Amino acid sequence: MFSVESAKVASMVEKALFVRVAVPSPLRRLFDYRVPPNFPALVPGMRVRLPFGRGDVVGVVVALSDHTEVAPGKLRSVSACLDSAPVLTPELMELLTWSARYYHHPPGEVFAAALPVLLRQGRAAELPQISTWRLTLTGMDADESELVRAPRQRDLMQLLRKYDALSREQLDEHLGQWREPMARLMARGWVEVQHQDQTTVCAEPSSPGGLDLNPHQQAAVGAVADSWGHFQTFLLEGVTGSGKTEVYLSLVERVLARGEQVLVLVPEIGLTPQLVQRFRDRLSVPVAVLHSGLNDQERLNHWLQAGRGEVGVVIGTRSAVFTPLLRPGFIILDEEHDPSFKQQEGFRYSARDVAVRRAQLLSIPVLMGSATPSLESLYNVQQGRYQVLHLPERAGGAQRPYIQVLDVRNQPMDESLSRPLIKTIDGHLQQDGQVLLFLNRRGFAPTWLCHGCGWVAQCPRCDAHLVLHEKRQRLRCHHCDTDIPLIRHCPQCQGEEFRPIGHGTERVEQAVQNRFPHVASDRIDRDTTRRKQALQQRLDQVHSGQTRILIGTQMLAKGHHFPDVTLVALLNVDHGFYSSDFRAAERMAQLVVQVAGRAGRGDRPGRVLVQTHHPDHPLLQLLITQGYGAFARQALLERQAAQLPPYSYLALIRAEATDRDQPMTFLKEAAELSSRFNGGRVMVMGPVTASMEKRAGRYRAQLLLQADDRPSLHKLLAPWIIALEGLKSARRVRWSIDVDPVEVF
The binding site for Zn ion (CB under 5 A) comprises: 450, 452-453, 455, 459, 461-462, 477, 479-480, 482, 490, 492-493, 495
Q: With CB cut-offs between 5 and 8 Å by kind, which of Zn ion, ligand ADP, none does residue 462 bind?
A: Zn ion
- Tell whether residue 482 is a contact of ligand ADP (CB under 6 A): no
The answer to whether 315 touches 287, Cβ cutoff 8 Å, is yes
Residue with Cβ nearer Zn ion (123 or 461): 461
Which of these, 478, 471, 499, 479, lies nearest to 487 by C-alpha position?
Answer: 499
The answer to whether 164 touches 267, Cβ cutoff 8 Å, is no
- Tell whether residue 214 is a contact of ligand ADP (CB under 6 A): yes
Q: How far is the C-alpha of 184 from the C-alpha of 191, rounded, in Å? A: 9
For the bound state, the minimum distance from the C-beta of residue 691 to ligand ADP, rounded and expressed in Å, comes to: 35
For the bound state, the minimum distance from the C-beta of residue 537 to ligand ADP, rounded and expressed in Å, comes to: 22
Which of these, 36, 38, 31, lies nearest to 52 by C-alpha position?
Answer: 31
For the bound state, the minimum distance from the C-beta of residue 402 to ligand ADP, rounded and expressed in Å, comes to: 18
Helix H or strand E encompassing 665:
helix 662-674
Residue with Cβ nearer Zn ion (223 or 487): 487
For the bound state, the minimum distance from the C-beta of residue 277 to ligand ADP, rounded and expressed in Å, comes to: 12
Q: Give start and end residues of each alpha helix (H) in 451-530.
A: 505-515
- Tell whether residue 443 is a contact of ligand ADP (CB under 6 A): no
Which of these, 97, 113, 106, lies nearest to 737 by C-alpha position?
Answer: 106
Q: How far is the C-alpha of 359 from the C-alpha of 368, rounded, in Å? A: 12
CB atoms near residue 196 (< 10 Å): 10
For the bound state, the minimum distance from the C-beta of residue 275 to ligand ADP, rounded and expressed in Å, comes to: 8
Q: Contact with ligand ADP (CB under 6 A): which of 245, 377, 424, 566?
A: 245
- Tell whether residue 380 is a contact of ligand ADP (CB under 6 A): no
Q: How far is the C-alpha of 244 from the C-alpha of 238, rounded, in Å? A: 7
- Tell whether residue 586 is a contact of ligand ADP (CB under 6 A): no
The answer to whether 338 touches 267, Cβ cutoff 8 Å, is yes
Question: Counting runs of H as helices and runs of E as strands, what totals does the chain give?
Answer: 23, 32
Q: Contact with ligand ADP (CB under 6 A): which of 160, 311, 395, 716?
A: 395
Residue with Cβ nearer Zn ion (499 or 532): 499
Q: Position 686: which residue type? A: G
DSSP one-letter code for 456: B
Q: With CB cut-offs between 5 and 8 Å by kind, which of Zn ion, ligand ADP, none does residue 714 bind?
A: none
- Tell whether residue 120 is a contact of ligand ADP (CB under 6 A): no
Alpha-carbon 57 to chain mean position = 26
Residue with Cβ nearer ligand ADP (396 or 420): 396
Q: Give start and end residues of each alpha helix (H) in 574-661.
A: 574-577, 584-596, 618-626, 628-641
- Tell whether residue 372 is a contact of ligand ADP (CB under 6 A): no
Q: For residue 193, what are the β-bridge partners?
A: 133
Q: How many CA atoms lie within 13 A of 304 on its CB side?
A: 20
- Tell whether residue 217 is a contact of ligand ADP (CB under 6 A): yes
The answer to whether 553 touches 526, Cβ cutoff 8 Å, is yes
For the bound state, the minimum distance from the C-beta of residue 226 to ligand ADP, rounded and expressed in Å, comes to: 20
Question: Segment near ligand ADP (CB under 6 A), from 88-96, 190-198, 211-219, 626-634?
Answer: 211-219
Q: With CB cut-offs between 5 and 8 Å by kind, which of ligand ADP, Zn ion, none does residue 422 bind?
A: none
Q: With CB cut-offs between 5 and 8 Å by kind, which of ligand ADP, Zn ion, none does residue 241 bind?
A: ligand ADP
- Tell whether residue 243 is a contact of ligand ADP (CB under 6 A): yes
Strands 413-414 and 467-469: unpaired
Residue with Cβ nearer ligand ADP (140 or 211): 211
- Tell whether residue 218 is a contact of ligand ADP (CB under 6 A): no
Question: Segment near ligand ADP (CB under 6 A), from 33-41, 212-220, 291-299, 617-625?
Answer: 212-220
The answer to whether 413 touches 623, Cβ cutoff 8 Å, is no
Residue with Cβ nearer ligand ADP (48 or 391): 391
Q: Which residues contact ligand ADP (rule: CB under 6 A)?
A: 211-214, 217, 238, 240-246, 395-396
